[in-house]
């Protein structure tokens, strides 16, 4: 290990990394209990430390600062994880309140609401083509003949309508 005086003279990131990486990894692992997450945390802190290398005050305890940053990052990780677990538990409780058929009906209702809103914002021809094909089960040729348009126009209008519905659903459900 490098002595403290040498560390204060000039900051060498490679030496710092060699001296403290394993120790930092063990320290982070004590908090997060997952080696991969601990590695990610230590790597993030090392990158941040490297970015701030020029701003570091040589008279301060650089090693102490490094381990404080790791500690804070671990605490942030645990808070996020705790929040995620709380949300997950609430979702499970909500899902448990519904039977499978009720939950499925609720999902279908929400999907139809989104599709309905999207359709209402479409031009009339797009809307009619979409409904004829998807709700009435008509073929492209049947829709084209009934609307007095070409099959190619049906394909184009349907593609635009499906893209709009897909975008709406994607916005809603990610």
| Among the listed residues 128, 123, 119, the one whose alpha carbon sits nearest the alpha carbon of residue 147 | 128
Same domain? 84 vs 26: yes
Same domain? 123 vs 82: no
Same domain? 134 vs 85: no
Domain boundary among 94, 115, 132: 94
Rounded Cα distance between 69 and 34, Å, is 18
Domain boundary among 43, 59, 94: 94
Examine the pLDDT at 40 and tell me if it is beyond 50: yes
Same domain? 81 vs 138: no
pLDDT score at 85: 79
Q: What is the pLDDT of residues 5-28, one digit of tens each?
A: 444 445 677 888 888 999 999 999
- Domain that includes residue 45, residue range: 4-94
pLDDT level of residue 153 (50, 70, 90 thresholds): very high
CATH number at residue 59: 1.10.1740
Domain boundary among 94, 112, 130: 94
Same domain? 69 vs 22: yes
- pTM for this model (two decimals): 0.47
Number of structural domains, the chain?
A: 2
CATH number at residue 169: 1.10.10.10
């Amino acid at each position: 290990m490098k002595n403290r005086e040498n560390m204060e003279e000039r900051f060498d990131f490679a030496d710092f990394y060699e001296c403290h990486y394993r120790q930092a990894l063990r320290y982070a692992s004590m908090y997060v209990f997952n080696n991969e997450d601990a590695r990610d945390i230590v790597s993030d802190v090392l990158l941040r430390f490297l970015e701030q290398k020029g701003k570091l005050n040589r008279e301060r305890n650089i090693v102490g600062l490094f381990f404080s940053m790791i500690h804070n990052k671990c605490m942030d990780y645990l808070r996020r994880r705790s929040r995620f677990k709380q949300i997950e538990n609430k979702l499970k409780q909500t899902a448990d309140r519904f039977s499978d058929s009720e939950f499925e009906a609720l999902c279908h209702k929400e999907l139809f609401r989104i599709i309905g809103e999207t359709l209402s914002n479409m031009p009339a021809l797009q809307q009619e083509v979409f409904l004829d094909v998807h709700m009435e089960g008509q073929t492209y040729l049947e829709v084209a003949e009934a609307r007095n348009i070409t099959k190619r126009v049906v394909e184009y209008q349907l593609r635009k309508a499906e893209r709009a519905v897909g975008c709406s659903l994607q916005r809603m459900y990610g």
